Amino acid sequence: QVQLVESGGGLVQPGGSLRLSCAASRSIGSAYTMGWYRQGPGAQRELVATITFIGSTNYADPVKGRFTISRDKAKNTVSLQMSSLKPEDTAVYYCNAALGPFNFWGQGTQVTVSS
């Protein structure tokens, strides 16, 4: 079993920046695709961004140009740099690691964008 632990959430004003980090409890293998998802109030969980083992990235349209995903395979971490934050980015952000039938989730970290 792999545990993913997120950190870096908090309260930020519109237009501000935050950096989320996710650390795996053990080596999960670089073949996993890692990503970030979010779930806003009353909404379903949705994709934010993913990064494959070769570094290919994919972003949801609402965050393109504002968020950047990166990973450190040696440290088993994935990060999400969020800039130009908007109130609609308010959500619980979840870290994910996936490979075939294996799918691991973190416990989530709250991001609130409000003045």
Residue 35 in contact with residue 96, Cβ under 8 Å?
Answer: yes
> Nearest 5°: phi and psi at 88?
-70, -5
Average pLDDT over residues 56-84: 95
DSSP 106: B
Task: Kindly tell me if the per-residue pLDDT of 100 is higher than 90.
Answer: no
Q: What is the pLDDT of residue 24?
A: 87
Average pLDDT over residues 95-111: 93
Q: What is the pLDDT of residue 13?
A: 98
Q: What is the pLDDT of residue 76?
A: 87
Average pLDDT over residues 73-94: 95
Helix H or strand E segment including 77: strand 77-82
Tell me: the pLDDT tens digits for 16-67?
999 999 998 877 766 789 999 999 999 999 999 999 989 999 999 999 999 9
Average pLDDT over residues 92-97: 96
